[in-house]
Amino acid sequence: MAKVEAPVTKNEYYDVTFEDLTHDGAGVAKIDGFPIFVANGLPGEKAKIKVIKIKKGYGYGRLIELYERSPDRVDAPCPIYKQCGGCQLQHLSYEGQLKAKHKHVKEVLARIGKIENVIVHPVLGMSNPWRYRNKAQVPVGEREGGLVAGFYQQRSHQIINMDACLIQQTMNDVVVQTVKNICEKYGIQAYNEETHKGVLRHIMARYGLVTNEVMVVLITRTDDLPYKKKIISEIIENVPNVKSIIQNINPQRTNVIMGDETKVLWGAEYIHDYIGDIQFAISARSFYQVNPEQTKVLYEKALEYAELTGEETVIDAYCGIGTISLFLAKKAKKVYGVEIVPEAIEDAKRNAKLNGIDNAEFAVGEAEVVIPNWYKQGIQADCIVVDPPRKGCDEALLQTIIAMKPKRVVYVSCNPATLARDLRILEDGGYQTLEVQPVDMFPHTNHVECVAQIVLKKEAGKN
């Protein structure tokens, strides 16, 4: 079969009109039907681009000159936006971001899930879409003898030094800069991933939005932290509201951030925060939503879709530290949560106790193994809530749901593509998707969360 030549040449310049955005925020231009993905391009804009890479069926370009700007284009307020890989959409107005995310969810549901008649509501955004992240984990490096801390440049391991990140809570910036300066003062060497030498790998900050409590985590290659007492003393003196100073030790050659050993250097093992009126204890390793304001919006929608009257038994698959479970427990008769990470289940039990909730029970294991066992024991769920990782639900769990036939399924998703795939499986198994509500948990990035309300087809007409 003859090789089809691309209608473009590498390193050549072309005049194009951007037609669309990819799921990761790049502009899409087509040259003789051949798609070229260009960072920083917006739909409707006319531009000159340079083709920098050609793959089978598509290519990549660089924006050289804009001839016509989109009315939705704005100047990104972050000075390192174009170098840093943290945000993808700061050059698009916030209203434009919400519209693009809504369009993306609708298109993915139709293309991957063949679900076209479902109501997809406008995206629920933030009134102030800045300074929302309650957790920063920042790599540390060295340059000209001094420490640098910031995010990695796009598609590289080059650290872009930063003083502030506009999507982080201000307190996280304070923690990172303060700890960096203290460690530099005492000559603490940054970890070098090429030589596998040095001490300080990452600085992590966690901040309780409601409680104002602060946790500082030093992630080190070595168990030994030189000048430990002096560093602790200066952190206590210079970081407002610090309640916990933790050291996590990661001696491995890896890009995984945290190691297996964690120890408290000073203060408490946990800080606390609230989502709505539910309190959570958060450790250095806890999975806790990074945007608690929008998490409340997301979980209230999940609760609305569950339509609980107080008589139901609910199963929360992928329950984490019990965040959704505890919301559900306030309205349900009984909640069963399952999660594969043992530490998360310990946190879930602690959080239930912290809130005086005694109708939630938690188990460690794979949802697709534990839930069928519960079913065999006679536990029949009226509603199953799933909040899986980006890869979506395990096929075995979906088949278990179809076999158990709960009246309702509430699917909380951080990846519209796997949501669409899984909804197709549930629909083929006798369910109907009634509506999908996207929620903007991560403004200025390409991510969008969704909550889907799904019912057994025989229940669909009862509303």
What are residue 431's DSSP bridge partners?
A: 456
Maximum Cα–Cα distance across the chain: 71
- On the CB side of 118, how many CA atoms lie within 13 Å of its CA? 31
List the catalytic residue out of 319, 383, 414, 450: 414
Cα→Cα distances 22→45, 365, 389, 442, Å: 15, 36, 21, 17
Instruction: Check if 450 is active-site.
Output: no
- On the CB side of 245, how many CA atoms lie within 13 Å of its CA? 20
If you count them, how many residues does the chain have? 463
End-to-end CA distance of the chain: 56
Instruction: Compute and round to an integer the Cα radius of gyration of the chain.
Output: 24
- Give yes or no for a contact between 105 and 116, defined as CB atoms under 8 angstroms apart: no
Per DSSP, the residues of 294-345 read: HHHHHHHHHHHHHT--S--EEEEES-TTTHHHHHHHTTSSEEEEEES-HHHH
Phi/psi for 105 (5° steps) reads -60, -45
Instruction: Please list, residue by residue across 377-414, b when 16 or more beta carbons sit within 10 angstroms of its beta carbon and e when fewer do.
Output: eeeebbbbbbbbeeebbbeebbebbbebebbbbbbbbb
3-state secondary structure 118-143: CEECCCECCCCCCCCECEEEEEEEEE
- Give yes or no for a contact between 272 and 280, defined as CB atoms under 8 angstroms apart: yes
Instruction: Report which residue type is found at 13.
Output: Y
Q: What is the dihedral of CA 33, 36, 42, 47, to 10 degrees?
A: -90
SS3 388: coil
Q: Which residues are catalytic?
A: 414
